[in-house]
């Protein structure tokens, strides 16, 4: 009898605890799928613009999967976040299905067939800096539309028409611009007028832009409708291709109808690495990001970062020395794998990266001038945007996409209403000459017809124990790799929740120039003094990165990390 009562009591206690747990985890807020910590059960979208995040979640709620939502978000960002969201640019997607299948899609732009190695040099062989940055000649052949067509064809569930429709609505009916966007559009007023004498929706001729003004883009809406009706032919052929080529002729650009017809996104095998028992699935070349990320993780893994602490002087010193070596490798060994034999296997070898750190000295900074790219034995056969998406089944998409600079080349294709990229600047226009991010390169990333320019974009997915753990990525040019790296160690080593890991202040080193860029408040004054005494040149700078990420908690809920450095927003359901 005693025993029965005891069991009964245990049962009551258990029921009580289960009820409390249910309250905490699901029902208390009264919103299905959400718990009191603001975490969501059914899916989540984190992107640079609230309207785009909402589009993605609406697609998920309609029964779309993560890829359907990603395609919808990519097109929506082309409307509501024209700084970097695009159909005239390119990007990379890393995908992981709920069952653990992984894939990577390279929809990076390509150099036109008429491009050549010296196209941005003057008669004396010196780079003409603005030539690869602004105007028609700065544009590569756009990859985003073909990329989205390919992603949807392979993994999409909803119809193509359904996933494009929200972007058409936003372009046609207009959307309310944020305060930040109003400021940017006003700031670029003159430039848009200069590069687009025939007019563009981004120019407000009546007054200045203000927060909540409606931005309507009718020409873009028509282009999106053609893409909706005809798929890739709606962009790479017909009237849109005519408009692109006419625009090129007006501004002496190189992209031809043949270039457009020949553009195809490429499925590639993701780069995979291990870090403290976690599996990192990330982007292979044409991005340098994935390889560099794994190299950084391997370089610091032998050291007790957790014991030293987040942004402690030892932690910063070690990471800077790892970054110095990895970016030296990037400058020499990374380029379009269809044109250059990237020594991927050796760069991803843990022993190689450990050896690269062997000559690092705790007493003093290693001057970058003394660090060359690692010896490879033989040959082997500032504006981008990132979004992270998970769906109800647990499929995950990590996409980083860009026009390169903010609003790309500043050229809007007349009649078609979208901005052209200025991605050609990501090539090494001359060996050793820095690009807009201060990155240098050589033969591996020299310009050649139909070649893809090297990128730093690092869309990534992390697994723990064979299950989805994190979806992560960021814009930021050369700082992309180090921001993704720091976000990952912030969670794994420093045990931060997703939002804190994203918001945490960051720092960056890239071999050349030999300076450590530090976000305001990232390091305390003692750490700065200690590092300066060892010869590190600490340079304060503004925001580093704009990470949008999702973490899956051990309770199976999705935690969003939307970067407070922008208008970014995590929406779950
Ligand atoms: O592909 C790259 O690495 C660059 N075009 C990315 C540009 C970028 O992140 C600018 N954002 N702030």
Q: Is the pLDDT of residue 501 over 50?
A: yes
265 Cβ neighbours under 8 A, 6+ residues apart: 105, 106, 107, 143, 146, 147, 149, 150
Å from CA of 37 to ligand 1 middle: 33
Q: Do the beta carbons of residue 462 and residue 278 sit within 8 Å?
A: yes
Q: Which two tokens stand for residue 490?
A: 């912030």
Specify the 3-state DSSP secondary structure of 477: coil
- 278's enclosing H/E stretch is strand 278-282
Q: Is the pLDDT of residue 138 over 90?
A: yes
Å from CA of 437 to ligand 1 middle: 8
Give residue 27's pLDDT band: very low, low, confident or very high (50, 70, 90): very low
What pLDDT, on a 0 to 100 scale, did the predictor assign at position 532?
Answer: 98
Q: Which two tokens stand for residue 172?
A: 């046609």
To test the pocket of ligand 1, the residue of 437, 441, 517, 541 to mutate (highest count of ligand atoms within 8 Å of its CB) is 437
Q: Is the pLDDT of residue 380 over 80?
A: no
From CA 237, how far away is CA 509, in angstroms rounded? 43
Determine if ligand 1 sits within 6 Å of the CB of residue 421.
Answer: no
% of the chain exceeding 90 in pLDDT: 92
Segment 540-566 shows an average pLDDT of 97
Q: What is the DSSP string of 14-51?
A: HHHHHHHHHIIIIITTSSTTB-TTS-BSS-EEEESSHH
Any idea which residues carry the catalytic annotation? 384
Q: Which atom of ligand 1 is nearest to the CA of 478?
A: 3
Does 160 fall in a domain?
yes
Q: Which two tokens stand for residue 412?
A: 């809007």
Q: Do the beta carbons of residue 440 and residue 412 sit within 8 Å?
A: no
Specify the 3-state DSSP secondary structure of 110: strand
Nearest CA, atom 12, ligand 1: 382
Q: Is the pLDDT of residue 19 over 70?
A: no
Does 543 fall in a domain?
no
To test the pocket of ligand 1, the residue of 283, 474, 477, 481 to mutate (highest count of ligand atoms within 8 Å of its CB) is 477
Determine if ligand 1 sits within 6 Å of the CB of residue 476.
Answer: yes
In angstroms, the Cα distances linking 249 to 120, 258, 449 are 18, 14, 19
Query: β-pairing, 538-541 with 516-519?
Result: parallel
Segment 273-293 shows an average pLDDT of 98
Does 520 fall in a domain?
no
Q: Is the pLDDT of residue 20 over 60?
A: no
Å from CA of 440 to ligand 1 middle: 14
Segment 244-271 shows an average pLDDT of 98
Determine if ligand 1 sits within 6 Å of the CB of residue 143.
Answer: no
Q: What is the DSSP string of 310-364?
A: TT-HHHHHHHHHHHHHHHHHHHHH-S-TTTS---HHHHT-HHHHHHHTTT--TTS
Å from CA of 84 to ligand 1 middle: 9
pLDDT tens digits, one per residue of 97-136: 999 999 999 999 999 999 999 999 999 999 998 999 999 9
Domain interval for residue 72: 43-89+109-264+405-445
Overall size of the chain counted in residues = 573
Q: What is the DSSP letter of 366?
A: P
Q: What is the DSSP string of 153-199?
A: HHH--S-HHHHHHHHHHHHHH-EEPPHHHHHHHHHTHHHHHHH-TT-
Determine if ligand 1 sits within 6 Å of the CB of residue 410.
Answer: no
Nearest CA, atom 1, ligand 1: 455
Nearest CA, atom 5, ligand 1: 404
Does 185 fall in a domain?
yes
Does 438 fall in a domain?
yes
pLDDT tens digits, one per residue of 191-238: 999 999 999 999 999 999 999 999 999 999 999 999 999 999 999 999
- 550's enclosing H/E stretch is strand 548-552
- 19's enclosing H/E stretch is helix 2-22
Q: Is the pLDDT of residue 310 over 80?
A: yes
What pLDDT, on a 0 to 100 scale, did the predictor assign at position 415?
Answer: 97
From CA 257, how far away is CA 265, in angstroms rounded? 17
What pLDDT, on a 0 to 100 scale, did the predictor assign at position 515?
Answer: 96
Determine if ligand 1 sits within 6 Å of the CB of residue 298.
Answer: no
Q: Is the pLDDT of residue 90 over 50?
A: yes
What pLDDT, on a 0 to 100 scale, did the predictor assign at position 11?
Answer: 44
- 445's enclosing H/E stretch is none
Q: Is the pLDDT of residue 140 over 50?
A: yes
Å from CA of 384 to ligand 1 middle: 5
Nearest CA, atom 2, ligand 1: 455
Query: β-pairing, 266-268 with 271-275?
Result: unpaired
% of the chain exceeding 70 in pLDDT: 93
Determine if ligand 1 sits within 6 Å of the CB of residue 457.
Answer: yes
- For 416, counting Cβ atoms within 10 Å of its Cβ (0-12 exposed, 13-18 middle, 19+ buried), the class is buried
Question: What residues are paired with 175 via a beta bridge?
Answer: 215
Segment 376-387 shows an average pLDDT of 72
Give residue 382's pLDDT band: very low, low, confident or very high (50, 70, 90): low
Q: Where are the beta strands (DSSP E) in 214-327?
A: 214-215, 266-268, 271-275, 278-282
Q: What is the DSSP letter of 129?
A: G
Q: Is the pLDDT of residue 75 over 60?
A: yes
pLDDT tens digits, one per residue of 286-296: 999 999 999 99
Domain count, the chain: 1
What pLDDT, on a 0 to 100 scale, did the predictor assign at position 374?
Answer: 83
What pLDDT, on a 0 to 100 scale, did the predictor assign at position 378?
Answer: 55
Place of tokens 């704009």: 546
pLDDT tens digits, one per residue of 464-475: 999 999 999 999
Farthest-apart Cα atoms in the chain, separation: 100
From CA 325, how far away is CA 203, in angstroms rounded? 44
Place of tokens 């995590």: 570
Specify the 3-state DSSP secondary structure of 559: strand
In angstroms, the Cα distances linking 394 to 240, 287, 558, 573 are 37, 26, 10, 13
Q: Which two tokens stand for residue 143?
A: 């990859």
Taking each helix axis from N to C end, the angle separating 160-173 and 66-80, rounded to the nearest 10 degrees, works out to: 20
Place of tokens 């269809």: 338
Å from CA of 29 to ligand 1 middle: 39
Q: Is the pLDDT of residue 14 over 50?
A: no
What pLDDT, on a 0 to 100 scale, did the predictor assign at position 547?
Answer: 98
Question: What residues are paired with 1 via a beta bridge?
Answer: none
Does 336 fall in a domain?
no
Q: Which atom of ligand 1 is nearest to the CA of 423?
A: 5
What pLDDT, on a 0 to 100 scale, did the predictor assign at position 475?
Answer: 97
Determine if ligand 1 sits within 6 Å of the CB of residue 566.
Answer: no
- 553's enclosing H/E stretch is none
Average pLDDT, the chain: 94
Give residue 314's pLDDT band: very low, low, confident or very high (50, 70, 90): very high
Lowest-pLDDT range of 10-14, 170-174, 492-496:
10-14
Give residue 377's pLDDT band: very low, low, confident or very high (50, 70, 90): low
Å from CA of 288 to ligand 1 middle: 12
* Strands ordered across the beta sheet of 507-508: 507-508, 516-519, 538-541
Q: Which atom of ligand 1 is nearest to the CA of 546?
A: 12
Does 544 fall in a domain?
no
Does 35 fall in a domain?
no
What pLDDT, on a 0 to 100 scale, did the predictor assign at position 383?
Answer: 82
Determine if ligand 1 sits within 6 Å of the CB of residue 383.
Answer: yes
From CA 148, how far away is CA 1, in angstroms rounded? 67
């Amino acid at each position: 009898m005693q025993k029965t009562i005891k069991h009964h009591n245990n049962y009551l206690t258990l029921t009580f605890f289960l009820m409390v747990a249910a309250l905490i985890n699901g029902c208390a807020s009264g919103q299905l799928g959400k718990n009191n910590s603001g975490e969501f059960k059914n899916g989540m979208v984190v992107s640079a613009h609230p309207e785009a995040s909402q589009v993605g979640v609406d697609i998920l709620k309609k029964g779309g999967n993560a890829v359907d939502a990603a395609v919808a978000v990519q097109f929506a960002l082309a409307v509501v976040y024209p700084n970097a969201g695009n159909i005239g640019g390119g990007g990379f997607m890393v995908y992981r299905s709920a069952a653990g299948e992984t894939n990577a899609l390279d929809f990076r732009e390509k150099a036109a067939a008429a491009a050549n190695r010296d196209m941005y040099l003057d008669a004396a062989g010196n780079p003409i800096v603005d030539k690869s940055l602004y105007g028609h000649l700065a544009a590569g052949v756009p990859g985003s539309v073909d990329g989205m067509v390919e992603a949807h064809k392979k993994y999409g569930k909803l119809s193509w028409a359904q996933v494009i429709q929200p972007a058409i609505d936003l372009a046609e009916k207009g959307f309310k611009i944020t305060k930040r966007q109003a400021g940017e559009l006003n700031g670029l007023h003159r430039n848009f007028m200069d590069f687009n004498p025939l007019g563009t929706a981004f120019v407000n001729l009546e007054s200045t832009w203000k927060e909540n003004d409606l931005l309507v883009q009718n020409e873009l809406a028509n282009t999106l409708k053609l893409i909706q009706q005809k798929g890739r032919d709606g962009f790479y052929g017909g009237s849109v291709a005519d408009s692109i080529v006419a625009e090129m002729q007006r501004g002496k650009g190189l992209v031809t109808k043949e270039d457009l017809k020949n553009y195809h996104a490429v499925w590639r095998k993701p780069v995979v690495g291990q870090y403290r028992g976690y599996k990192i699935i990330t982007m292979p070349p044409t991005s340098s990001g994935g390889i560099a990320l794994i190299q950084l993780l391997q370089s610091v893994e032998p050291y007790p970062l957790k014991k030293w602490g987040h942004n402690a002087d030892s932690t910063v010193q070690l990471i800077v020395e790892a970054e110095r070596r990895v970016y030296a490798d990037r400058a020499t060994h990374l380029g379009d794998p269809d044109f250059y034999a990237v020594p991927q296997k050796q760069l991803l070898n843990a022993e190689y990266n450990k050896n690269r750190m062997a000559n690092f000295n705790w007493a003093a900074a290693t001057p970058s001038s003394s660090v060359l790219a690692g010896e490879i034995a033989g040959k082997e056969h500032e504006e981008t945007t990132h979004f992270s998406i998970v769906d109800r089944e647990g499929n995950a998409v990590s996409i980083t996409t860009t026009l390169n600079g903010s609003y790309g080349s500043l050229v809007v294709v007349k009649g078609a209403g979208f901005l052209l990229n200025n991605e050609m600047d990501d090539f090494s226009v001359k060996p050793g000459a820095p690009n807009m991010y201060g990155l240098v390169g050589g033969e591996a990333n020299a310009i050649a017809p139909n070649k893809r320019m090297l990128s730093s974009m690092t869309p990534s997915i992390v697994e723990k124990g064979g299950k989805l753990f994190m979806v992560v990525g960021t814009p930021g040019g050369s700082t992309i790799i180090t921001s993704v790296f720091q976000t990952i160690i912030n969670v794994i080593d420093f045990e931060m929740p997703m939002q804190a890991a994203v918001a945490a202040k960051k720092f960056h080193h890239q071999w050349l120039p030999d300076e450590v860029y530090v976000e305001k408040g990232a390091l305390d004054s003692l750490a700065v003094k200690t590092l300066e005494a060892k010869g590190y040149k600490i340079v304060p700078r503004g925001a580093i990165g704009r990470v949008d990420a999702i973490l899956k908690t051990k309770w199976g809920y999705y935690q969003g990390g939307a970067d407070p450095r922008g208008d970014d927003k995590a929406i779950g359901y």
